[in-house]
Amino acid sequence: MRRVLLADRLATALLWGVALFVVAILVAIIVHFVLASLPTFTLSFLVDEPVSEGIGGIGPLLFNSIYMLVLTMLFTIPLGVLGGIYMAEYAGENRFTNAIRLSQEVISSVPSIVVGLFGMTVFVIAFGWGFTAIGGALTMLVFNLPLLMRLCEQAIRAVPADERAASLALGSTKWQAIRHAVLPVAIPGIVTGIVLTAGRVFGEAAALLFVAGDAVPSNYDYTFISLFDPRSPWSLFHKGTTLSLYIWNMNTESMNSQKEVISAMSSMVLLVMVLLFNLSSRWLGRALQRRVSGL
């Protein structure tokens, strides 16, 4: 009896130790970035243009990150939700469905840099676009689509069968049942899925490296609005270097003496954005859940 009690106590202590250790690492990482970036951080950092020497700012890069996010999600959301609906409501146990599942697994496992190479081959070279934001968005669509599809499918499957059954029993078509009875209930889960996917897109760099390029942007004229002229920041065809890529650039090609400080502050911004995405996905999910269930 004594031995098993001792073993139990030891095992419990060990598991607590592991948990504390891991959480400590996370805290240490966050604290490190806060300390490294807070002294030199100013709000203008978020809007100023980057400079080749000195601290400058990340304005255009933040703009690009958000731009890319919106653009990518514009494609990903409709396809992901529709695909998720198909998988949850229409798909049967057949070869086609298995093929879809297999494809989802394969794409999710392909390293993002390989997806980036694929995007480069298609958009940069074959289409002749060079480095563009739209190329980056479409490339990110490739690996985000299976992910969002999966999350939407789960959210829709989680809707109790009664909702569907009630609608059908009243004589609605299947699509009507989906649209009016099932989807509203699945919305919280879908929104959570979208926000989570968005978080991933925001921080992505490897896939974009060869499609959007890591050239440091300059002279962004936000008043010049054009969808196709690559000189306009609003253009689909402008070089969409994002914040993550900027950090990469700082640590590989840059000669800037302040690169470490810039990287630290940029990382801090990214961390804060990721935290915001996480928190809002939880908060939104819960808020929508309450609205839907009428509480």
Partner 1 sequence: MTIPQGVSPVTPTPPTPVPVSSLQPAVFAAIDPSALVKLRARDVRIRYGARVAVRDVTLDVPEHSVMAFIGPSGCGKSTVLRCFDRMNDLIPGAVVEGTIELDGQDMYSRTVLPVEVRRKVGLVFQRPNPFPMSIYENVAYGPRRYGLKDKAQLDELVERSLHRAALWDEVKDDLRKKSGLALSGGQQQRLCIARTMATDPEVILMDEPCSALDPIATLKIEELIAQLKAEFTIVIVTHNMQQAARVSDRTAFFTLGEDRAGYLVELDDTLKIFTNPAFQLTEDYVSGRFG
Partner 2 sequence: MTAPAKPLATAKPGLRARLDLPQRVTQLAAAMVIALVALILTFITWRGVQLFLQTATPVWQIFTVLWQPDPTSSRPVNFGLLPFIVGTLEIFIGAAIISAPLSVGLALFMAEVAPNWARRITQPSMEMFVGIPSVVYGFLGLTVLVPFLKDVLGFQFGQSMFAGQLVVAIMILPTITSLAYDAFKTVPAEMRSASLALGTTRWQAIRHVVLPAAASGVVTAIVMGMMRAAGEALAVALVVGGRAFITFDPRQPITTLTLGITADMGNTTPSEPWNMALWTMAAVLLLMSLGFVTIVRRLSGGRQVL
C-beta of 64 vs 267, nearer to partner 2: 267
Least distance to partner 2 from the beta carbon of 62, Å? 14
Give CA–CA dist 291/244, Å, rounded: 36
211 forms part of the interface with partner 2 (CB under 8 A): no
Looking at the Cβ atoms of 232 and 281, the one nearer to partner 2 is: 281
Among 46, 168, 206, 288, binds partner 2 (CB under 8 A): 206
CB of 41 to partner 2, least distance (A): 16
DSSP tag of 213: -
CB of 1 to partner 1, least distance (A): 5
Distance of CA 55 to the CA centre of its chain: 27
Q: Write the CA distances from 68 to 62, 88, 120, 199, 255, integer angstroms.
A: 10, 29, 16, 12, 27
Closest distance between partner 1 and the C-beta of residue 4, in Å?
A: 7
Q: Where are the alpha helices (DSSP H) in 110-182?
A: 112-119, 133-157, 161-169, 174-176
Contacts 24+ apart (CB under 8 A), 26-31: 30/271
Partner whose binding site includes residue 2, from partner 1, partner 2, none (CB under 5 to 8 Å by kind) = partner 1
Q: Return d(Cα 65, Cα 155) in angstroms, integer.
A: 27
CA 45 vs CA 59, 87, 264, 269: distances in Å:
7, 45, 12, 10
For partner 2, the closer CB: 87 or 232: 87
44 φ, ψ to 5°? -70, -20
Size of the site for partner 1 (CB under 8 A): 5
Q: Is 118 helix (H, G, I), strand (E, B) or coil?
A: helix
Closer residue to partner 2, CB minimum distance, 71 or 207: 207
Which of 43-51, 66-74, 224-232, 261-269 is the region at the interface with partner 2 (rule: CB under 8 A)? 261-269
Q: Does position 4 bind partner 1 by CB under 8 A?
A: yes
Stretch that binds partner 2, among 46-54, 119-127, 183-191, 217-225 (CB under 8 A): 119-127
Cα angle at 213 between 208 and 214, to 5 degrees?
100
**Cβ distance to partner 1 smaller for residue 9 or 286:** 9
Binding residues for partner 2 restricted to 42-61, rule: CB under 8 A: none
Among 3, 39, 43, 92, binds partner 1 (CB under 8 A): 3
Contacts of 294 (CB under 8 A, 6+ apart): none
Give me the residue label for tokens 């394969």: 106
The answer to whether residue 271 forms part of the interface with partner 2 (CB under 8 A) is yes
For position 40 contacting partner 2 by CB under 8 A, the verdict is no
The two structure tokens encoding residue 90: 């229409």
Q: Tell whether residue 275 is a contact of partner 2 (CB under 8 A).
A: yes
Measuring CA to CA, how many Å separate 177 from each of 144, 284, 288?
Answer: 28, 25, 20
> Which residue, 1 or 161, has its beta carbon nearer to partner 1?
1
**Nearer of residues 95 and 161 to partner 2, judged by Cβ:** 95
Which residues sit at the interface with partner 1, rule CB under 8 A?
A: 1-5
